[in-house]
Amino acid sequence: MATTETRGAIRIEDVVKIYDPDGAAVMAVDHCSLDIAAGEICMIVGPSGCGKTTLLNAIAGFHEITSGRITLDGEVLCSTDRPKSRPGSDRVVVFQNGALFPWKTNLDNVAFGPIMQGKLSKAEAREKALSMMADAGLNGVEHNYPGEVSSGVRRRIEIVRALMNDPKVLLLDEPYRALDSLTKSVMHEALLEIYYRNKVTIFFITHDLEEAIFLGHKVAIMTSRPCKPKKVLTVDIPHPRDYGVLTSKRFRELIEETNEAVHEEAVKAFQSGEKEG
C-alpha cells in the first residue's frame, strides 16, 4: 500500500468542547493541544468519563467543537469558525462497542466503504475484501454474520473494514475493552501486524496503561474531566515489537514512570464522580 510520510499528521490546537453550553454546560475538553506525527501510534489514556471519546468524535466529525482547531496534514478539519468537520473515509472510527452492521455478512461489511464511495464495483470490493480478510487471518468467517463470530474476531473485522478505505488515520475507541486478557494479547499482535503492513496513523483510546505502552510510539495521559494531556510520554522501545517487550526492563520502567500520573487522575475522577453522584 502506497503511503508517504506526510499522510495522517494530526494537530490538535487548543480545543475546547462544552456540551450543552446554554444549559448544564459540561466542559468535556479544555484547551487541549496534541501533535500526532504521520504514521504514529498515539495512545490516549485517561480515566472514565474524562472526555476521550469527545475528543475522538471531534476529529471524526461527529460533533462540533466549541473553540480551537484540528488539522489533518495541514488541512483544517474543524475550527472555531467551522466547528464541525465532515466525517469521511480518511478518518475511520472503530467504535467502543463495535459497529459492524449485524444485517450484513462480515464480507459485505468489509466491502461496504469502497462500494458506498463508488470507488470499486461490488464484485471488485468483495474481491479486495476477501484478500484483506485472508491477510488478516480472517478467512472462514466471510459469509457469517457478525453476530456469529466471537467479539475478538468482530473487532479485527472492523479494523479491516476501516483499512479497506486506505484511511490516513484510524481512530480506535477502546476497541479491546470487553475482551479477556488472552484474546487481548492476540489482538495486540494482530493489530501491530496490520500496522506494520499499512502504516496508518493510529489514535487509540484505552484505559489500560500496559496496552498503551506496549502499542504506542507516544502515550498521552489525560487529566480527569475536563480533558487535556497531563503528560505525554515517548515510548523509546523500538518497533516492531512483540510480546517479549512486556517482560523487558525498559517496559517496566516506563510503566512505573507513568503509573502514578494515571492513578492520580483516576482518583480525581473518582472523587469528582462521588461529588456529582
Partner 1 sequence: MPQQDKQPISPDMMIGILKATMPFQVVSEPLLRRIAAIGWKTTFRAGDTLYEAGGPADDLFIVVAGKIDHELQPGVHARRPMKTLVEGDVFGWAALLEKVPNRLAKAVCTEDALVIRINGEELLKVLESDPNAGDVVMSRFATMITRDYTVPDLIAQLRGIHRKLHARDPQGMNVTLYRVSRWLKSPKPYLMLIGLSIFFGGWYLFVEVLRLPRFREMPGITTVVAEWMSPNPTYGLSIYTGEYYQHILVSIWRVTQAFFLATALGVPLGLFLGWSRKFKDLVFPVFETLRPIPILAWVPIAIVMFVATESAVIFLTFLASFFATALNTMLGVESIDESYVRAAYCLGSNERQVFLHVIVPGSLPFIFTGLQISVGVAWFSLVAAEMVSGQYGLGYVINTSYTTVKYPTIIIGMITLGAVGYVTSAMVRVAGDYMMQWRLRELAMGAN
- Binding of ligand ATP by 53 (CB under 6 A): yes
Q: How far apart are CA 201 and CA 128, in angstroms?
A: 22
What residues are paired with 170 via a beta bridge?
92, 202
Residue 77 CB, nearest approach to partner 1 (Å): 13
Q: Which is nearer to Mg ion, 53 or 106 (CB)?
A: 53
Q: Which three cell numbers stand for residue 144?
A: 457469517
Residue 55 CB, nearest approach to ligand ATP (Å): 7
- For the four alpha carbons of 62, 13, 218 and 239, in that order, the dihedral sign comes to positive
Task: Kindly give, in sequence order, each residue whose CB lies less than 8 Å from that of residue 227, ignoring residues fewer than 6 positions away.
Answer: 28, 29, 30, 32, 46, 50, 51, 52, 54, 55
From the list 20, 22, 81, 256, which residue makes contact with ligand ATP (rule: CB under 6 A)?
20
Q: Which is nearer to ligand ATP, 53 or 109 (CB)?
A: 53
Distance from the first to the final alpha carbon of the chain: 49
* Chosen from ligand ATP, partner 1, Mg ion, none, partner binding at 139 (C-beta under 5 to 8 Å by type): partner 1
Q: Select the span of 18-26, 30-38, 150-158, 185-193 touching ligand ATP (CB under 6 A).
A: 18-26
- Binding of ligand ATP by 26 (CB under 6 A): yes
Phi and psi, residue 118, nearest 5°: 70, 20
- For the four alpha carbons of 11, 15, 20 and 21, in that order, the dihedral sign comes to negative
* Chosen from Mg ion, ligand ATP, partner 1, none, partner binding at 8 (C-beta under 5 to 8 Å by type): none
* Chosen from Mg ion, partner 1, ligand ATP, none, partner binding at 69 (C-beta under 5 to 8 Å by type): none
Q: Which residue is nearest to Mg ion (CB)?
A: 53
Cβ burial, residue 146 (10 Å; 0-12/13-18/19+)? buried
Residue 164 CB, nearest approach to partner 1 (Å): 8
Residues that bind ligand ATP (CB under 6 A): 19-20, 26, 28, 46, 48-54, 225
